[in-house]
């Protein structure tokens, strides 16, 4: 399991660092934070206005993981660059795709 993800009863919790208003939409891999935690770096072109960047992050991750957008939800960090998302339900295939995203 990649360091930015952890399993729960509800599904997989993903920790992200999002850069809105970027030049392109991209998943850039794992970043180790100063506090020792790991996050998945994500860039989106959408502006951080009225949830547009959050919607773009959900669409990008849903496509990369092969799940519907409705399977992802923001748990915390609605207005922050550091976000926590829930992917439900968790499957072995999803864990494999997450490991591939980690680079």
Provide the pLDDT for residue 71.
Answer: 94
Cα–Cα nearest to 8, from 60, 84, 79: 84
Per the CB < 8 A criterion, the answer to whether 57 and 73 are in contact is no
Give me the mean pLDDT over the 39-47 stretch: 96
Average pLDDT, the chain: 92
> pLDDT digits over 54-89, tens only?
999 999 999 999 999 999 999 999 999 999 999 998
Give me the mean pLDDT over the 32-56 stretch: 94
Provide the pLDDT for residue 89.
Answer: 84
Of the pLDDT bands very low, low, confident and very high (cuts 50, 70, 90), residue 46 is very high
Per the CB < 8 A criterion, the answer to whether 69 and 58 are in contact is yes
- Give the up-direction half-sphere exposure of residue 94: CA atoms within 13 A in the CB hemisphere: 20
Provide the pLDDT for residue 101.
Answer: 78
Q: Is the dihedral of CA 75, 80, 81, 82 positive or negative?
A: negative
């Amino acid at each position: 399991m990649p360091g930015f993800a952890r399993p729960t009863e509800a599904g997989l919790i993903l920790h992200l660092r999002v850069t809105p208003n970027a030049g392109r939409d991209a998943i850039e891999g794992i970043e180790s934070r100063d506090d020792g935690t790991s996050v998945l770096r994500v860039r989106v072109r959408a502006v951080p206005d009225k949830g547009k960047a959050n919607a773009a992050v959900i669409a990008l991750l849903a496509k990369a993981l092969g799940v519907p957008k409705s399977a992802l939800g923001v748990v915390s960090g609605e207005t922050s660059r550091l976000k926590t998302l829930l992917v439900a339900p968790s499957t072995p295939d999803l864990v494999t795709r997450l490991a591939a995203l980690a680079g």
